[in-house]
Each structure stands twice: as C-alpha cells, then as structure tokens.
Amino acid sequence: MPLSGSSCMLDIQLLRTQPDLVSERLAARGFQWDRTEFQALEEERKTVQTRTQELQAKRNASSKAIGAAKGRGEDTTDLMAEVNQIAAELAAGEARVAELQDQLEALLLNFPNLPHASVPAGSSDKDNVEVRRWGTPRVFDFSVKDHTEVGEALGQLDFAAAVKISGARFSVLKGGLARLHRALGQFMLDVHTTEHGYTEAYVPYMVNADSMRGTGQLPKFEEDLFGIPRGDQGKFYLVPTAEVPLTNLVRGEILEASALPLRMTAHTPCFRSEAGSYGRDVKGMIRQHQFDKVELVQIVHPEQSYAALEALTGHAETILQRLELPYRVMALCTGDLGNGAAKTYDLEVWVPAQDTYREISSCSNFEAYQARRLQARFRNDKGRPELVHTLNGSGVAVGRALVAILENYQQADGSLMVPKVLQPYLGGLQVITRL
C-alpha cells in the first residue's frame, strides 16, 4: 500500500525536501523530530518500494502471459515456475514496505502543525500577545461574588445536586438560569446564521474513531475523550467540540471550488474528561465534563484562510460585544499553540471575581493539517484536487458565557440583570431574581 497523504499531518514532501525548514518551525513550538530515523526509514522505503514494484510489474506481466497462453491451450508450466521464483522475494518486499510505512506513519502522526510566520515566538501562555481589548470592566460599589455564589444565592445553580447525580465537574441549572443558558445558545446561533452567513447544522454527539483522527484528537489525545464501548464494533467517542462532526462533514470529499467557503455552525454539548487538570478550576462552571458550545467551522480556499481567521474571530467577538461583556483578544505564541493549529486567537472574557480575563473562545486556522488527515479537497483552477484549509472557533462557549454574565451582571441585592440582547429570548424578562 502506498503511504497515503492522510497518514501524516504535514506534507511528507516537505519533510523530504526541506527538513531544515521543518526542524526550525517545529523547534519554534518546542517539538524535536527524529530526522535520523526518518531519513533511514525513507531511504529503505525508497529502495524496497522501488524493487517491490518492479517485482509486482513482473508478476503481473507473467500472469497476463499465463492467461493468454491458457487461452491458446498452451502449456504454462515454465511461466508458472518463473513467477514462483520471485514469489518469496515479492512477498517479503511487500511485507517490508507495509512495515516501513507503518513505522513512518507512527513517527509522523504525532507531529504538530507548523506555526505560521506571524505567530509570536514563546514557550508558554505567558508569552501570548494581546492584540486588542474591548469594553471597560464594570466598577462595582459592592463586593463582587463569584458566579457560583451568585447562582447558588439565586437558588438556580446546584452543584450538590450534580455531584449526587453524576459527580464532580457537572452542574445543574434551574429556572431563570436554565432559561438564560438556553437563550445564550439560541442567540448565538441566530447571529451567526442570519448575520455571518453560517449554515446551522444538527450533528451526532457521538462519533467514530476515524472522525476523531480526522480532526486530530486521535491518536494523541485519547485520554481527553470519553469513549463508549460498543462490543466488537470499536467504540463511539463523545464529541469534545462540534468541530469534530462539522469538520468531518467534508472528510473524503472533493468539493467544487465554487462551493467554497463553507461556513457551518452547530450548538452542541461538549464532553471532556479533563484528565490532568486536577486542582485546576475545580470550583464552579469554568471547567466541566459537559458544557454547551456554539461552534463555527469554515472550509476555505488555501489563499483565503488567514482572511477567514480574522473574519471568524470577529464573528465570535460580535457575540461578546452584543452581550456587552469586556474581553481581550490574544494571539497565542508558538509554545501555547494547539497541536493542529497554525495560528490561534483566544478570546478572553472579563471575570470580575477572579479579577482577570478567562478564555471563552479559541479561533484557529489549521491550514491543511486537518484537511490532509481528512482528505478534504477541492478542485482547483487546473482541475486538480487540492487540500482545503479548515478553521474553527467557539462562537462562543455557552457555559463560560453564563459564568461571565453571572459575574458581570450581578447586582447588590443578589439579583441578576439580563443582557439586553437576551431579553427577547426570555419573554422580555429584565432581571432574574431568587427562585
């Protein structure tokens, strides 16, 4: 079997022809690759594959000759003997090629994407660069409560009940807050579909392993996912983000250039095991096993992807602006970039009780990283299939938006103001009071 492009997240031609460039860009995000091993594998692959293909050609020709001879009623003993002579070497060669390709694949599958040239250099989130800031944090004339206190005081946010039903990192919303939570998702979808040109989609919340591989969650991040065994049929995975089902819509497709860009959005629950986050955000709704999110996905022409990233980030910002929530836009540095991202902007919303900004959206351009795994292509000017670029971003995380509202819209008497844009979704309700 040939080494398909999908087995590698980077263009293998690039690794062959410009290893120095690849090393340099990977080093920028703190990733070292084993060039010696790669080159050794490549060298052997080349000789063995070439030889094996020669043998295959020979076998095919002989087999054809046997067929023709039999058709004429001639004796084929000599021809058969000829083929049998190369049989052993051929079988060994085919096995070795498969083995080498598996090894190459294993080596390459965990490569992160190459960061775009415009990504600031750095090693951790401390080196992220603030791009812009919107809104002014409200000045409170009373001592601010954090979102858990506000919600619990309203009698509409119940962590104890969630622990009883499920366990830690879940929450139960009731009454006005549950309705506000629902309103947030509706509002976001409405804005994106009517103003930003996204097509709303309803998608599965459980997906197969191929889909998780396609967008890059597998094989490297299995421990972050919830898997559901299904007998001998492998397993389902609960989606950690609607990015997975939405982006996988184009897996294996060759799109007409005129179909681009594709803009899709979906409101789904997201499930994350949060392995390795022990002790972080243990209290409250910031980090949950289950949360809602409205996701934005774009499938675009490669030349358009950076313009699309700016636009998509703007679409997410619109939500925070309409909700009148102060935020800032951060350009992630090379060291803080997600595995598949070439460039990412995080939106961080103001959280008064923590006196800081917290991530509420992450907007990324994956360039061809996901497209290569997905084999998602379009027909270019020359009529040739070419990989698309994929982008996605939260537009925005519903749970964290609720956190931000609980804190930014709290009042001294313990009630909660309803953001103006959401009031129509709550039948005109302006204030949520104790249940």
What are the residues whose beta carbons fall under 8 Å from the beta carbon of 384, sequence distance 6 or more?
Answer: none
Size of the site for RNA (CB under 7 A): 36
* CB-CB contact of 188 with 361 (8 Å): no
* CB-CB contact of 380 with 368 (8 Å): no
Q: SS3 for 302?
A: helix
**Which of residues 59, 138, 174, 358 is near RNA by CB under 7 A?**
59
The CA distance from 141 to 137, in Å, is: 13
**Which of residues 232, 256, 355, 381 is near RNA by CB under 7 A?**
232
Secondary element (H or E) of residue 60 = helix 35-71
Write down the least CB distance from residue 5 to RNA, Å. Answer: 4
C-alpha closest to that of 8 among 115, 113, 97: 113
Residue 62 binds RNA, judged by CB under 7 A:
yes
Residue 49 binds RNA, judged by CB under 7 A:
yes
Using only the alpha carbons of the chain, give its radius of gyration. 27
238: Cα separation from own chain's centroid? 14
Residue 13 binds RNA, judged by CB under 7 A:
yes
Token pair belonging to 74: 């001639």
* CB-CB contact of 144 with 160 (8 Å): no
Catalytic residue list contains 272? yes
Residue 385 binds RNA, judged by CB under 7 A:
yes
C-alpha closest to that of 320 among 263, 410, 400, 202: 400
Instruction: Give the single-character DSSP code of 130.
Output: E
Write down the least CB distance from residue 92 to RNA, Å. Answer: 13
Residue 139 binds RNA, judged by CB under 7 A:
no
Taking CB under 7 A as the criterion, which residues in 262-301 touch RNA?
A: none
Catalytic residue list contains 94? no
Task: Return the range that interacts with RNA (CB under 7 A); candidates 53-61, 346-354, 359-367, 400-408.
Answer: 53-61
The CA distance from 26 to 110, in Å, is: 12
Residue 54 binds RNA, judged by CB under 7 A:
yes
Residue 411 binds RNA, judged by CB under 7 A:
no
Strand partners, 291: 270
Residue 428 binds RNA, judged by CB under 7 A:
no
Write down the least CB distance from residue 172 to RNA, Å. Answer: 24
Catalytic residue list contains 99? no
Residue 19 binds RNA, judged by CB under 7 A:
no
The nearer residue to RNA, 3 or 360, going by C-beta atoms, is: 3
Taking CB under 7 A as the criterion, which residues in 76-95 touch RNA?
A: 80, 83-84, 87
Write down the least CB distance from residue 81 to RNA, Å. Answer: 9
Q: Count other C-beta atoms under 10 Å from residue 325's C-beta.
A: 24
Task: Return the range that interacts with RNA (CB under 7 A); candidates 63-71, 137-145, 267-275, 414-422.
Answer: 63-71
What are the residues whose beta carbons fall under 8 Å from the beta carbon of 249, sequence distance 6 or more?
Answer: 201, 264
**177 phi, psi to nearest 5 deg:** -70, -40
Token pair belonging to 175: 């009454």
The nearer residue to RNA, 60 or 277, going by C-beta atoms, is: 60
Residue 131 binds RNA, judged by CB under 7 A:
no
Catalytic residue list contains 362? yes
Catalytic residue list contains 287? yes
Residues acting as catalytic residues? 272, 287, 359, 362, 400
Applying CB under 7 A, the residues found at the interface with RNA are: 1-5, 12-13, 17, 46, 49-50, 53-54, 56-57, 59-64, 66-68, 70-71, 80, 83-84, 87, 232-233, 254, 377, 384-385
